[in-house]
Chains A and B, each alone.
Chain A
Amino acid sequence: MANPSEIELVVARLRAMPDNALVSAGLGGGVMNRETLIEHAKNAGKDEIGRKIVEAHMSYLRSVGRV
């Protein structure tokens, strides 16, 4: 379960995403722009795609020793 500080960190990283970038999360999430990704991430406590977005970012940050 993502905690509020993790969600805040991931949302801050997503805010820096370029305007024109898109992310596909397959059938469940579809193709998302920056605002949609942020909206999911903000609701990671109850939103499955949001939880997976936060998990992906936190797992990477842990792997490179940044958290």
Chain B
Amino acid sequence: MPKSMLITLPNFDITTSYVSAWSEEIIDVAEKNGVEAIPIRGNGVTKSHVTNDMESKNTSFVAFNGHGSETCIAGQNNEPLITLGENERLLDSKIVHALTCSSASELGRNCKARAFIGYDGIFWLYMDGNKVSRPLSDAKARPILESALEAPKQIAKGESSGSAFGKSQEAYRKFIERMTLSSSEYTAEELQVILPFLHANKSCQKIFGDMNAKI
């Protein structure tokens, strides 16, 4: 049976437009590595659509993008897709990456996903206000989004969940180190704000479950 993954790409506000635009690359990475990627975009990211796809398609990896809370992963217009105590069984035995605020805190820790990588606090994002209509051209967002998205890209490449988490942590560390030591791409004023938020995201990225889980 061919390997496959599901990826949600909501885009109803600035934050979701950014994480979804930057996450499109995961689809290319997956397909180059023989993994069928099933994207659910924009208004399609509803509870009914996602539930149907998770129940009917035999995907071993699900990459969620969007907003979230301690107990919930949301979709388009903040519709709850997965809620602890209601339908977290949809995550059973799957590798899950949740690029949302806080969902690792309760949902990730308590669900029965084979492995869950996410954040147990705010996922901060720094952006250039002049680039919000073209998220992919916003170089200021790159350190935060590239570090975070290293994890799902590695899983899509066939790496284990533990290795993917480690490589994402390493990407955060390298950006922080490089930008702390010297940076020609960012002004000192920008670094004063980007670095603390990059550091905070690194600290609240968490993994639960089987560190050897592979797609």
Tell me the nearest residue of chain B to A55, going by C-beta.
B200
B100 and A16 form a contact (CB under 8 A): no
Partner of B124, one of A17, A25, A61: A25
Tell me the nearest residue of chain A to B130, going by C-beta.
A20
Binary contact readout A36-67 vs B (1 if CB under 8 angstroms, 0 otherwise) = 00000000000000001001110111011000
* B15 partner residues in chain A, CB cutoff 8 A: 24, 26, 31
B78 and A27 form a contact (CB under 8 A): yes
Most buried by A among B74, B78, B122, B195: B122
B128 and A20 form a contact (CB under 8 A): yes
B180 and A33 form a contact (CB under 8 A): no
* B46 partner residues in chain A, CB cutoff 8 A: none
* B67 partner residues in chain A, CB cutoff 8 A: 26-27
Tell me the nearest residue of chain A to B189, going by C-beta.
A16
Tell me the nearest residue of chain A to B101, going by C-beta.
A26
**A interface residue numbers (CB < 8 A to B):** 13-14, 16-29, 31, 33, 52, 55-57, 59-61, 63-64
**B interface residue numbers (CB < 8 A to A):** 13-15, 18, 67-69, 74, 78, 100-102, 121-130, 132, 140, 180, 187-190, 192-193, 195-197, 199-200, 203
